[in-house]
């Protein structure tokens, strides 16, 4: 074989290799706040059909954006059965949706698509930049179990709050990422300085951690009680999409109870304990007034009977003297 033929042969081999290398091409990808992602591929060869079930996807974290480490399988779903031929002007993209909590670290990932075509193993590589795992909407949950004010002073509420400590990259807590709204009988001053019967946490309030995502909220009021109370997650706008997350419990409302030393039926009749206490002395005075009237009537009756008795006795004495005088 002459030199020219050898050169032509090598050129053909290289060209064929390039064609096969372009059978499947990594196009681009994106990462989400919950560690999920999307990677897209397309094919430039219309003579072959590569089925998505025959493609195995793996990812490796790139340490210092260079060194691959911690290689793992990507779990998710393709949006098609096979790859379509496309070109630069009309790209037929097939995407793979990666499950959440896959890209947990912040940084770059090496994406590898392994497949076999004509008994030849092939690999396509791409790069994906990720913000790291912040939180998963499905792990958030909020429920107010109960809320009670005792003696118009001490308020307590047991609350379940889940999903705050999901990520080391985004710190979340019960003060900055949960909002609270109180509806009281009278006006009070909350921590924001608002003076109204509706506001946020009162000045005298605090939380206790009970375990298993249960919290105890305590607050103090001055001659006041909580009618209702609600709480909701803040700064998680992505989770408010009802089309993606229709069954999330991100908000909770509770009508609160009141415990008091005064009988419950009295509270129901008067509607406000303080009003009952203010009106009570008036009813006592009216009762005392009626008692005095009754005593006066009893005294008047006694003297009337006594006068009648003495009058009758005087008449008997007079009659007896008249009879004795006639006999004599």
Write the secondary structure of the chain as one string of H (helix), E (strand) and C (coil): CCHHHHHHHHHHHHHHHHHHHCCCEEEEEEECCCCCEEEEEEECCCCCCCEHHHCEEEEEEEECCCEEEEEEECCEEECCCECCECCCCCCCCEEEEECCCCCCCCEEEEEEEEEEECCEEEEEEEEEEECCCCCCHHHCEEEEEEEEEECCCEEEEEEEEECCCCCCCCCCCCCCCEEEEEEEEEEEEECCCCEEEEECCECCEEEEEEECCEEEEEEECCCCCEEEEEEEECCCHHHHCCCCCCCCECEEEEECEEECCCCHHHHHHHCCHHHHHHHHHHHHHHHHHHHHHHHHHHHHHHHHHHHHHHHHHHHHHHHHHHHHHHHC
Q: What was the pLDDT predicted at 90? A: 54
Higher-pLDDT residue of 52, 313: 52
Confidence of residue 227 (pLDDT cuts 50, 70, 90): very high
In CATH, what class is 18-130? mainly beta
Decide if pLDDT at 279 tops 60: no
Q: Report percent pLDDT > 90 for the chain.
A: 53
Instruction: Please state the rounded mean pLDDT for residues 287-297.
Output: 46
Higher-pLDDT residue of 44, 231: 231
User: What is the Cα–Cα distance from 260 to 273, expressed in whole angstroms?
Assistant: 9
pTM of the predicted model as reported, rounded to 2 decimal places: 0.60
The domains of the chain are located at 18-130, 137-261
Domains 18-130 and 137-261 share a fold: yes
Lowest mean pLDDT among 147-161, 163-177, 224-238: 163-177
Higher-pLDDT residue of 161, 285: 161
In CATH, what class is 137-261? mainly beta
Decide if pLDDT at 127 tops 50: yes
Higher-pLDDT residue of 49, 254: 254
């Amino acid at each position: 074989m002459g030199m020219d033929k050898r050169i032509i042969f090598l050129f053909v081999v290289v060209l064929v290799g390039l064609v096969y290398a372009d059978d499947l091409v990594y196009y681009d990808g994106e990462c989400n706040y919950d560690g999920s992602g999307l990677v897209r591929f397309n094919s430039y060869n219309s003579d072959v059909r590569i089925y998505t079930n025959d493609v195995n996807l793996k990812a490796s974290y790139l340490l210092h954006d260079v060194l691959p480490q911690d290689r793992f399988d990507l779990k998710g779903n393709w949006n098609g059965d096979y790859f379509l031929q496309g070109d630069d002007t009309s790209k037929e993209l097939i995407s793979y949706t990666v499950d959440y909590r896959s890209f947990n670290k912040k940084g770059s990932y090496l994406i590898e698509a392994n497949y076999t075509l004509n008994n030849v193993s092939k690999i396509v590589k791409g790069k994906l930049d990720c913000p790291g795992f912040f939180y998963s909407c499905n792990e958030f949950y909020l429920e107010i179990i109960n809320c009670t004010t005792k003696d118009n002073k001490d308020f307590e509420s047991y609350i379940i709050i889940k999903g705050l400590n999901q990520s080391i990259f985004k710190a979340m807590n019960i003060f900055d990422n949960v909002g609270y709204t109180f509806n009281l009988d009278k006006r009070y001053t909350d921590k924001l300085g608002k003076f109204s019967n509706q506001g946020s946490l009162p000045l005298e309030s605090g939380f206790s951690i009970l375990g298993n995502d249960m919290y105890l909220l305590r607050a103090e009021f001055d001659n006041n009680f909580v009618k209702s109370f609600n709480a909701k997650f803040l700064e998680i706008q992505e989770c408010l999409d009802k089309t993606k997350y229709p069954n999330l419990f991100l908000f909770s409302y509770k009508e609160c109870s009141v415990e008091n030393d005064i009988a419950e039926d009295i509270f129901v009749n008067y509607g406000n304990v303080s009003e009952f206490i203010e009106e009570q002395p008036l009813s006592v005075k009216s009762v005392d007034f009626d008692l005095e009237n009754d005593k006066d009537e009893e005294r008047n009756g006694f003297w009337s009977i006594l006068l009648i008795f003495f009058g009758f006795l005087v008449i008997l004495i007079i009659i007896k003297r008249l009879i004795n005088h006639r006999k004599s």
